[in-house]
Structure 1
Amino acid sequence: MTAVDETMSAINDAVTLGRQGDTAQARERLIALWDTIGAGGDPLHRVSLAHFLADLHEHAADALTWDIRALDAADSLTDERAQAHHAGLSVRDFYPSLHLNLADNYRRLGAFDTARRHLEAARARLDALDEDGYGLGVRAGIANVEAALANNSTERLSSHP
């Protein structure tokens, strides 16, 4: 039997709280966890926490900070560590979504060329994703950000990628 990862459980609890509408409390919990984990902590904890925390910020600059941290953590995450948490995880599966979120943040900040580079990085890694709900969601997010970029829009999209 696998031991329960208390930090991942705490991250998931905070994410659930945020999805139920209490984004302020979810942010507080995740930031407190980040202070415990630290910038050099377990990469799986860091990528998960930062990725979810970015989604809890309204302003693109705040979200960007956490999305950069998530990408940085993914770069030091191994498949072995990811699969110790869940057998089906592969680090390469994380990158399309991470780059998509960065593309959207940069687009919202008006850095269109940088946004396009991250959108291309997301698109280049789509082969890692299945045609399931997650993969289709990332593909739809790419299309939405691409359309917004075509219009030089900095508006927040109705459905965040």
Structure 2
Amino acid sequence: MAGIVAAVELGRSGQRARARDALTALWERIGADGDALHRCTLAHYLADLQDTAEAELMWDERALAAVGGLTDERARQYHSSLQVRGFLPSLHLNLADDHRRLGDPEAAREHLAAARDLSRHLPGDQYGDLVRDGIRNVTRALDAGSTQRLDSHP
């Protein structure tokens, strides 16, 4: 996780290519059957560093697939407050946005519905508010027929 966090910080500091390279190298080291928490986290952040919506979709799908193998017990080994159900709204939101940007409103609406339903499990904190705002923003963009990247989407 330390390597993933360090790479994410590179990306947040504007060093997208270096962050993408570092996370890709970690993905290759972890492997497709590696620790589910590492795969989910890594794929989730790696999606944000892609240059195309198609590549983002691939990584967001990997993140959702990896969360299927994650348990609350494993998540809490990293941080005592984590629960798998807290990951799901954001993962579905990202997939909804990917499908919206790729011009697939039906798939986007399915993932938005899942994100909206699962968001009831989110706390009333900054993270929960961020995801709920993201759901509203993607819904508005979808309703408007926009396929443009949203600056405000996490």
Q: TM-score, normalised by structure 1?
A: 0.94
Rounded to whole Å, the distance in 1 between the matches of 2:34 and 2:153 is 28
Amino acid paired to 2:65: D
Q: Aligned to 1:145, which of 98, 116, 138?
A: 138
Rounded to whole Å, the distance in 2 between the matches of 1:158 and 1:87 is 31
Amino acid paired to 2:30: I
Q: Deviation at 1:151?
A: 1.0
Q: Deviation at 1:58?
A: 2.7
134-143 or 53-62, which moves further after superposition?
A: 53-62
Secondary structure in structure 1 of the residue aligned to 2:68: helix
1:3 aligned residue: none
Rounded to whole Å, the distance in 1 between the matches of 2:114 and 2:147 is 20
Q: Aligned to 1:96, which of 74, 83, 89?
A: 89
Contact kept? 2:138, 2:153, Cα under 8 Å: no
Rounded to whole Å, the distance in 1 between the matches of 2:25 and 2:152 is 27
Rounded to whole Å, the distance in 1 between the matches of 2:86 and 2:51 is 25
Secondary structure in structure 1 of the residue aligned to 2:19: helix
Q: Aligned to 2:106, which of 95, 104, 113?
A: 113
Aligned residues: 154
Rounded to whole Å, the distance in 1 between the matches of 2:124 and 2:79 is 20
Any idea what the Cα deviations from partners look like across 1:17-72, whole Å, max 9, x if unmatched?
00000000000000000000011100000000000000111311111111000000
Q: Deviation at 1:160?
A: 2.3
Matches within 5 A, 1:25-44: 25-44=18-37
Rounded to whole Å, the distance in 1 between the matches of 2:51 and 2:120 is 30
Rounded to whole Å, the distance in 2 between the matches of 1:79 and 1:158 is 31
Amino acid paired to 2:5: N
What is the CA RMSD across the aligned residues, in angstroms?
A: 0.6
Amino acid paired to 2:41: S
Q: Deviation at 1:158?
A: 1.6
1:14 aligned residue: 7
**Where has structure 1 moved over 2 Å in runs of 4 or more?**
none
Structure 1: unaligned runs, 5 residues or longer: 1-7
Aligned residues with identical type, % of pairs: 57
Amino acid paired to 2:99: Y
Structure 2: unaligned runs, 5 residues or longer: none
Secondary structure in structure 1 of the residue aligned to 2:146: coil
1:56 aligned residue: 49
Contact kept? 2:93, 2:111, Cα under 8 Å: yes
Q: Deviation at 1:104?
A: 0.2
Q: Aligned to 2:66, which of 57, 64, 73?
A: 73
